[in-house]
Each structure stands twice: as C-alpha cells, then as structure tokens.
Amino acid sequence: MKVTVVGAAGRMGGRLIQAVKAADGLELTGAIERPGHPQIGTDAGLLAAVGELGVPITDDLAAAMKTADILIDFTFPEVTLNNLEICAKFGKMVVSGSTGFTPEQKTAVEKYAEQIPIVLAPNMSVGVNACFKLLKETAKILGDDFDVEVVELHHNKKKDSPSGTAVRMGEIVAETLGRDYNRVANYHREGMCGERTKKEIGMQTVRGGDIVGEHTVYFIGMGERIEISHRAMSRDMFARGAVRACQWLEGKSSGLFDMQDVLGLS
C-alpha cells in the first residue's frame, strides 16, 4: 500500500516514516507539512534518517492522496477533519492518532467513516491498548466500591490536556460502571471543594521536560489500592501501532475503528 504521512518533518512524523520504511507491504509516497514550513522540498527520507526516498515534503495533501492508498495523521482535530474531507473525496483510508476531539468533532469523524475506513485511536501502543482491556475487566470486578483516579504525565510541548489516552481510560471505566464520563470527570480540585463524590473520576495532569507519556489509573478502596500503569519510553511504539493499523485496514470499504479492533480486543 502507498502511504502519505502528515506532519512529516516533526518528531512523530520522522518515527512514522521510519516505521513505514521498515514495514512489509507499505511504501511512502507522500509527505505533508503545513504551508510555509521550512522543510518543504526536503526529501522526507533524509529528514527521517532512513536515506533518500525520492519523496519531497510538500503542502499539497490532495495531490499526494491521488496516488496514495492511505493517510497517517498525527495532528490536531481541526487539521484531521480537513484531511478527512480530502481523503473522503478520493475514497482513501485513514489512520489517525490525533487527540482532543470535541463531541461535535467526533460526530463529524463518524460521518466521514460512512464513506471511508478510519482507524481513530488516542493511543496506538499495543501496551496501552492492553491496559484499556485490563481497565474494563478491573472495573467490572470492583464495581462502585473503589474510587477511581487517572493521572497522566507528558512533555512540556503537549498542547491538549488531559491526554486523549487519559480521557479514553476514564471513558472506559465510566462506561463499564454505567456512568456518563462527561458528568463524572473531575478535572480540578482547589480550596474547600468538599468531599469526593462516590461517582466521580479524577483526572490529573502533569507536564514537564521530555516525558514521552505515562498513565496510571488508581482504583482506591478501603485498605487497598490497585494501580494499572503504562510508561512510554519512546515514540517508536506509536509508529509501529499506526503501521499495524494500516495493514489491518487493507480491503475495508468504510467504518470507524480503533486499536481495540485492530488488535482483536473488542
């Protein structure tokens, strides 16, 4: 399959290009950056340290998708929605690791998925998705008798807060316990805010340095505590997951999927 990568000059873009280059059955044919980016015109392979690929970085996604089969998009919701519009026009597949979607933006993604196949996942790590599965099973066992708190740590350049992965962890626990995440998520405690409610799910954020990503969900009961944690040590695992999602999508005509589907954990 022929692949276009968006954000090709960034840290994640470089990892994605490396993963595509190493994967069986995938070929990089497009590399996209925002208009005016200083690396436009540079060979994407040279920038990603995999050798010259003959694929210059451009700002024309429509032209790139005319010859590509699939787009890998790790950007931001507004950019992703614009990219989905172009891909839907050409009937192309999409793998997106973008986070921070509003409910309205998620609805827009679902509409595009009626036309093309999309894998949208806040975290494409195999390990994180194993944690998602464990969280669901743990919440089923513990029920409402344990307080739930989610703590996430990321580098100081990350723009959304809490992370998409942390939100998904909270959503999984809330859904399993029959709660509405948007009603029970508590993002802020300060001053005389009163006792913790039984149903709330605390969402705490830490930003600093070059932390790739760490997530811990605490199930806290009387006299005992369970912690389910994942620590990312490099961005390579996200890129490998995106490549796996590309390979899994081949042959599908439409639908909205996530990494639980890709890994057979649904």
In DSSP notation, the chain reads: -EEEEESTTSHHHHHHHHHHHHSTT-EEEEEE--TT-TTTTSBHHHHTTS---S-BEES-HHHHHHH-SEEEE-S-HHHHHHHHHHHHHHT-EEEE------HHHHHHHHHHTTTSEEEE-S---HHHHHHHHHHHHHHHHHGGGSEEEEEEEE-TT--SSS-HHHHHHHHHHHHHTT--HHHHEE----SS--SPPSS-EEEEEEE-TT--EEEEEEEEETTEEEEEEEEE--THHHHHHHHHHHHHHTT--SEEE-HHHHTT--
126-232: which CATH architecture?
2-Layer Sandwich (3.30)
**How many residues are recorded in the chain?**
266
Marked catalytic residue, from 21, 92, 154, 230: 154
As a whole-number percent, the residues of the chain with pLDDT over 90 amount to: 94
46 backbone dihedrals φ, ψ, rounded to 5°: -65, -40
pTM metric for this prediction: 0.81
Marked catalytic residue, from 158, 199, 215, 252: 158
Q: Judge whether 158 counts as a catalytic residue.
A: yes
**Given this model, what pLDDT does residue 100 score?**
85
**Given this model, what pLDDT does residue 174 score?**
98
User: Does position 266 have pLDDT exceeding 90, yes or no?
Assistant: no
The tens digit of pLDDT for each residue in 165-203 reads 999 999 999 999 999 999 999 999 999 999 999 999 999
Q: Judge whether 154 counts as a catalytic residue.
A: yes
Residue spans per domain, the chain: 2-120+235-262, 126-232
As beta bridge partners, residue 59 has: none
**Given this model, what pLDDT does residue 38 score?**
97
Max intra-chain CA distance, the chain: 61
**In terms of CATH, what superfamily is 2-120+235-262?**
NAD(P)-binding Rossmann-like Domain (3.40.50.720)
Cα dist. 12→16, 55, 170, 212, 234 in Å? 6, 17, 25, 11, 10
User: Does position 234 have pLDDT exceeding 90, yes or no?
Assistant: no
> Around Cβ 90, how many Cβ atoms within 10 Å?
15
Tell me if 129 sits within 8 A of 263, measured CB to CB.
yes
The tens digit of pLDDT for each residue in 108-151 reads 999 999 999 999 998 899 999 999 999 999 999 999 999 999 99
What is the DSSP pairing of strand 117-120 with strand 255-257? parallel
